[in-house]
């Protein structure tokens, strides 16, 4: 009997102690929340087909941003923990990875560095779970704070990219414009917007031709555009299609000025010498490519050069600096949190709408990201981009030493 009484006494004491232990654990968890890592999830992978280089570089840029912010004290005092989703820019896999992560631990922020379809797929889930979203693509939904109050586009507005063609038309006396674009959602939007902007500014669009990005020969489409007899051809392409477009024009013997959009500048094919690239070949003799200021090396650009040095440690940059927007996304999060004095997603978002915050974050690709309460698309000024002759790009920049 004494043994039974002793066992019951121990059990009763344990049961009485449980609520106190639970409360203590709860309080400890609450008290330690500010010391917990700030979790950023990034769409990642190593085999994403035509956007593999962009994806790998984008993830490296996020890692460099994380290292830079952590060295400076983290996000409002919280060190960043980076979680990679190995989805290879596949939207279905990205959604599965995000849902699996939510079941384990809700991330504080999410970054997409490559793949418009991934951005579109994860955006509603991030919105529903109140997770800050830094989007390297530029899609209408994530630019609208009424629909997605915690989402911010990092890429330049397509209108800014298109409007920066106008000074080139004017200085060269081009009047009749030909437009060649792919069949992806972004490429189609580029084609439609280009036609609208050029016509609005008094230029005649004599032909607008769409090609299949999966095609291995684009001679028929290029021939149709040649028949329209434009003064200049504006085109967009990324990866292999860039080569097929350029080779198709050469194959037809068409001697026409070519203005490649930022996607063309991001394709290593046009900034590398043979056998890997086309530099110095007939295919690029009439080509000028659209780049941002960060792509041209400037020894005085401290923020940009700091970012490049960090990324060189992590495997370097493939393509132009437009591929490293993820770095800026991390720094913007940190700047927003510092201004807000909080790591709450809504508080950070509200702070990022302030010019003094989005313009002083130490970003590398663009010096500022002019967001507002009305738009979470960076309203960059005309002249943000310029057109240059193709030249070797080393770690994202032209004119930089190896």
Task: Walk along the chain (402 residues) in steps of 10 and give the mean pLDDT of each run.
Answer: 40 36 32 76 93 92 98 97 97 98 98 93 98 93 97 93 96 98 90 97 98 93 97 94 95 97 90 91 96 94 96 88 95 98 98 98 97 96 92 89 69
**Nearest-angstrom CA–CA distance, 325 and 369:** 11
What is the pLDDT, as a whole number, of residue 402? Answer: 65
Q: Evaluate whether 365 touches 305 at the Cβ level (below 8 Å).
A: no
**Nearest-angstrom CA–CA distance, 224 and 217:** 14
Bond preceding residue 275 cis, omega within 30 of 0: yes
Which residue, among 124, 162, 154, 132, has the nearest Cα to 385 in the 3D structure?
Answer: 162
What is the pLDDT, as a whole number, of residue 173? Answer: 98
What is the pLDDT, as a whole number, of residue 50? Answer: 82
Q: Would you kindly state where each structural domain of the chain is located, as residue ranges?
A: 37-156+300-381, 160-294+389-393
What is the pLDDT, as a whole number, of residue 51? Answer: 86
Q: Evaluate whether 374 touches 147 at the Cβ level (below 8 Å).
A: no
Which residue, among 181, 240, 190, has the nearest Cα to 211 in the 3D structure?
Answer: 181
**Nearest-angstrom CA–CA distance, 57 and 325:** 10
Which residue, among 222, 160, 168, 162, has the nearest Cα to 198 in the 3D structure?
Answer: 162
What is the pLDDT, as a whole number, of residue 30? Answer: 30
What is the pLDDT, as a whole number, of residue 5? Answer: 40
Give the pTM.
0.84
**Pairing state between β 393-394 and 397-398:** antiparallel
Q: Evaluate whether 177 touches 231 at the Cβ level (below 8 Å).
A: yes
Q: CA angle at residue 73 from 101 to 129, to 5 degrees? A: 25
Q: Evaluate whether 248 touches 189 at the Cβ level (below 8 Å).
A: no
Write the DSSP assignment of 212-236 as a string of letters: -TT-S--HHHHHHHHHT--SEEEE-
Residue reference for tokens 């026409």: 256
**Pairing state between β 385-388 and 287-292:** antiparallel
Question: Given this chain, do its domains 37-156+300-381 and 160-294+389-393 carry the same CATH topology?
Answer: yes
Which residue, among 73, 71, 46, 50, has the nearest Cα to 59 in the 3D structure?
Answer: 46
**Nearest-angstrom CA–CA distance, 50 and 2:** 77
Q: How far apart, in Å, are the Cα atoms of 363 and each of 72, 92, 214, 220? A: 14, 31, 35, 43
What is the pLDDT, as a whole number, of residue 374? Answer: 97
Beta bridge partners of 176: 204
The arrangement of secondary structure in 160-294+389-393, i.e. its CATH architecture, is 3-Layer(aba) Sandwich (3.40)
Q: Evaluate whether 387 touches 381 at the Cβ level (below 8 Å).
A: no
Q: Evaluate whether 129 touches 199 at the Cβ level (below 8 Å).
A: no
What is the pLDDT, as a whole number, of residue 399? Answer: 87
3-state secondary structure 263-276: HHHCCHHHCCCCCC
What is the pLDDT, as a whole number, of residue 33? Answer: 58
Domain 37-156+300-381 CATH (choose: 3.10.110.10, 3.40.50.2300, 3.40.50.300, 3.40.190.10): 3.40.50.2300
Residue reference for tokens 């889930």: 125
């Amino acid at each position: 009997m004494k043994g039974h009484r002793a066992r019951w006494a121990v059990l009763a004491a344990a049961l009485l102690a449980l609520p106190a232990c639970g409360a203590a654990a709860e309080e400890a968890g609450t008290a330690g929340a500010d010391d917990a890592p700030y979790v950023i999830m990034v769409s990642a992978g190593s085999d994403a087909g035509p956007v593999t280089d962009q994806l790998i570089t984008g993830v490296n840029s996020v890692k460099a941003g994380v290292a830079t912010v952590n060295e400076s004290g983290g996000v409002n005092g919280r060190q960043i923990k980076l979680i990679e989703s190995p989805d290879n820019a596949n939207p279905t896999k990205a959604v599965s990875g995000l849902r699996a992560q939510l079941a384990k631990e809700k991330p504080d922020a999410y970054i997409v560095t490559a793949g418009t379809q991934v951005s579109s797929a994860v955006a509603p889930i991030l919105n529903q779970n109140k997770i800050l979203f830094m989007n390297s693509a530029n899609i209408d939904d994530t630019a609208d704070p009424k629909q997605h109050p915690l989402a911010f586009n990092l890429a330049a507005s397509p209108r800014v990219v298109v409007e920066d063609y106008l000074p080139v038309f004017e200085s060269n006396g081009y009047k009749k414009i030909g437009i060649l674009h792919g069949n992806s959602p972004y490429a189609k939007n580029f084609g439609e917007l280009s036609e609208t902007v050029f016509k609005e500014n008094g230029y005649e669009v004599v032909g607008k031709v769409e090609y299949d990005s999966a095609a291995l020969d684009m001679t028929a489409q290029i021939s149709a555009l040649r028949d329209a007899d434009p003064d200049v051809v504006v085109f967009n392409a990324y990866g292999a299609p860039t080569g097929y477009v350029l080779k198709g024009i050469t194959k037809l013997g068409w001697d026409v000025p070519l203005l490649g959009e930022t996607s063309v500048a991001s394709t290593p094919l046009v900034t590398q010498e043979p056998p890997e690239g086309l530099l110095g070949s007939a295919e690029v003799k009439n080509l000028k490519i659209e780049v941002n200021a960060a792509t041209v090396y400037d020894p005085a650009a401290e923020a940009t050069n700091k970012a490049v040095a960090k990324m060189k440690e992590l495997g370097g940059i493939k393509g132009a600096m437009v591929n490293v927007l993820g770095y800026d996304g991390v720094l913007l999060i940190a700047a927003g949190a510092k201004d807000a004095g909080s790591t709450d997603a809504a508080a950070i978002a509200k702070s990022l709408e302030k010019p003094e915050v989005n313009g002083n974050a130490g970003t590398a690709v663009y010096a500022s990201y002019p967001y507002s309460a009305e738009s979470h698309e960076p309203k960059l000024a005309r002249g943000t981009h310029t057109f240059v002759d193709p030249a070797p790009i080393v770690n994202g920049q032209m004119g930089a030493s190896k």
